[in-house]
Amino acid sequence: MGIRTDYLVIGSGVAGLTFALRAAEHGEVTLVTKRKEDDAATTWAQGGVAAVFSPTDSYASHTADTLEVGCGLCHEDAVAVCVEGGPAAINWLTDIGAKFSRDDAGELDLGREGGHTERRVVHAADITGREIERALLAAVAANENIRVLPWHMGVELITLSRLGGPERCAGAYVLDEVSGQVITVLARATILATGGAGKVYLYTTNPDVASGDGVAMAYRAGAEVANMEFYQFHPTCLFHPLAKNFLISEALRGEGAVLRLPDGEPFMARHHAMNDLAPRDVVARAIDHEMKRTGSEHVLLDITHLSSDFIRNRFPGISERCAGFGIDITSEPIPVVPAAHYMCGGVTSDLFGRTTLPGLWVVGESACTGLHGANRLASNSLLEGLVFSGRAASRLAEEIRDLQRSPFPDVPEWEIGSAAASDEAVVVSHSWDELRRTMWNYVGIVRSDSRLRRAARRVALLEEEVREYYWNNIVTRDLLELRNIATVAQLIVGSAAVRRESRGLHHTMDYPETSPRMATDTVAKRGVMPYLR
């Protein structure tokens, strides 16, 4: 029989948990997550949540900074909704138990990051995401209307049109990773909150679960996706042979850290008027340029000119982690390199999280709300997950009672057909490695037409091989993730190929200028090649 529920939420980061808590006031929520409940990118977030609290700050200023960094592609209505919803979102988190850093007077200790003209980043030292995730999970655990299924992964969305019915999502087939069985979960509303797709690149700050599952499932189900060419590379990921995916927060530069070449020379003044506080796309390209120019494997991030007590108190998590690798950040600079960090595109949504496929909603990094445009302003991501998840839950609360009056549709259970257990898992691991190296080498920080053509040929061939392997073998998490990153890779390459300009995170050597004629979203849909809307 599977599971019947009012809301099916796929993902347990800030967006999925916030939606679940808000929606549980109006119906039963089933939340599935690939691994443990706290295995989400949110847990890794160091910087904070951008919100207007300072008396010298304003919504107009936060909006202006967001639009400036977004390079002409932000949707101004989405920016307004998010910026103006920030303070209420922080207050809600505080009410459910999140504890943020405060000054001696008890006021929020506001930080500053690249692209911001004011101190407006609400944080919990340098472990903000971990604290937010802790508070949300505690509230979810105490809510009897929320059922959490860890070690479960979405396989495919259930669309009634494939069964001869209307164009509508009715839930998802979900892999129980412990039993290996695929179960059917039918829902009045299905909410994708699966986060980003950093694992499509060889080097990333993202956790292993970030394989673009939501975008890939939505695309295959017929929902529109947008702006997939805009993948943000974080400028400063720890460079160390034993370190894996460890981000060095932009907040260090917000507090005065300086980027230097290995010989100690500062270099950001050559690249932007804001020096080390330039937007992330500028800083990542600057580091990439300097590494290629000098032949260096990394650059240095230096905060040693500040007091050791301040550094350890403001950045306890980073200090401790670096110390574990033999780096004392109070007395020596940190070796850093850029790495894939944040997906600014995603499944197209309106201002309430609604996708173009009825019955399917999307929140968080999986969504393209229009907030980020061609480049995300630092600390606007957790903000987006909080604000839009709340809006989606509120809007669905108005519709759920009508939906509850209709019976669940008759949907066939998952069938494995002639698929067999694979005896060549090496095919998955080799394809995974080849795909990620191709994306890193040809569709990274700097692109060109020849690189994109090369990537398109290789990714198309890999996607075809993966598709054949998928249909002939019983599904596993590794196989599903490979299938999803192959889909996402094709979307990124195809979208990048049609944007013949350099804008924000998409920088191409063949079209170095920004074209006013291309100040529009790149759209893709199943059966339709990516195009500029």
Residues recognised as catalytic: 280
Three-class SS state of 379: coil
> Position 118: which residue type?
E
- Burial of residue 117 (CB within 10 Å: 0-12, 13-18, 19+) is middle
- CA angle at 336 for the pair 335 and 337, rounded to the nearest 5°: 140
CB 250 within 8 A of CB 277: no
Nearest Cα to 209, choosing from 365, 381, 1? 365
Give the whole-angstrom CA distance, residue 392 versus residue 227.
Answer: 21
SS3 209: coil
The answer to whether the beta carbons of residues 150 and 35 sit under 8 Å apart is: yes
CA 385 to CA 201: how far, in whole Å? 23
Decide: 73 and 503 in contact? Cβ < 8 Å: yes
Amino acid identity of residue 75, one-letter, is H
Q: Which of 387, 305, 508 is nearest to 83 (CA)?
A: 387
Cα separation, 250 vs 381, in Å, equals 14
Nearest Cα to 256, choosing from 208, 327, 307? 307
d(CA 27, CA 90): 24
How many angstroms separate the CA atoms of 235 and 445, rounded? 10
**Within 13 A of 332's CA, how many CA atoms are on the CB side?**
10
Distance between CA atoms of 367 and 223, rounded to whole angstroms?
11
Instruction: Report the alpha-carbon distance of residue 177 to residue 152 in Å, rounded.
Output: 6
CA 478 to chain centre: 20
- Residue 422: which residues within 8 A CB-CB, separation 6 or more? 428, 469, 473, 474, 476, 479
SS3 content of the chain, % helix, strand, coil (to 5): 40, 20, 40
The answer to whether 344 and 372 are in contact (CB under 8 A) is: yes
Q: Which two tokens stand for residue 107?
A: 């006021």
Residue 379 pairs with which residues in a beta bridge? none
